[in-house]
Structure 1
């Protein structure tokens, strides 16, 4: 399979290693918005850039009928437009806030725990914490937002915030520490105990592997997908 890497920073380089290990070929590596001409020979594009560039990149990719995997976070106010572009151009698109297999299993565990804890809202206070490297541009992380949304979908909480407090708001704390690939912690605390689930990434390799597996899966598909589809968690 011929893969184009749109965004060639640390994640792009980690993805390239996995692409080669799995017997595929990287035929394009760019840190600018690609042109349709550059996309001619690509089977799948993997987009890991910056929040301010993501929409422009995705627009060109999808209008060029290029199946696309996107791991850039911080642009989701335009996600519906991207989904519509995918359908209008009869191509394929998959966005994930996190491609790690472990994180996607953690998402499922988080939702199950949220359903159980919703009966005990009066006894337990919730808190969500995420820790990332100092180069991460958005806060909270896209993964933390996905975790919060999973709780909201399964409880009577209706929002999350890094600043506001309230009975229906999930508080998120974002920390930036040197050389931390990503840690996410969900805590339910009462007067007598704490229930906690957490996921700690040891390197970028898990994210990179998941992105390449998603690219392999989407190559012959049409439509808008998620990692639940790839991992058959639906």
Structure 2
């Protein structure tokens, strides 16, 4: 069974630049199906902030044929050893909306029957360059909604110029995430996500776009001094 992994690591600006320019290629790495290497971006940051375009914080989202392939990469590859110094979570696929080339998404969706179970959400898109101003206008309110939502334990974005953008969020419960999506959260302006989705449906911002939902299998390392970012599934006795 394939697994996904999501990595956060802080390195030098020089190494970060090299990683973005010379990203690993699946054909050269045993068991790697697809990989996206991006630069960290603070959700809700100013449009012209340097933090929106390049950072020494690197984000990697990848799919592997097996967990053993991921472990081998982290232990034996040069870039893998860099990633092993940061934080990552290993993910089991649950659901997909939309499409994105490169990843081999399972044909069958899975479900978490418990609405109180924690979930991880990843969005990734290739932008239509002339639609970037519209995307920023409608997207920044959603960024702030997710960033400030009490149901999220970690939320961030990433970018790889010229057109790849992505978000990552960890949710205390599946219900809190779906309430946010449908505008039912008890927060100011809860409808921000719905409005942006209606605008995307009216005129798409993207060449390709997908939202992926996962169950975290494990969590490793720390990020900005934090551990145990993924909530533990509660077991009813």
TM tier, smaller: under 0.3
TM-score (norm 2): 0.27
Bigger relative contact order (CA 8 A; separation at least 6) = 2
Whose Rg is larger? 1
- Structure that is richer in strand per residue: 2
- Structure that is richer in helix per residue: 1
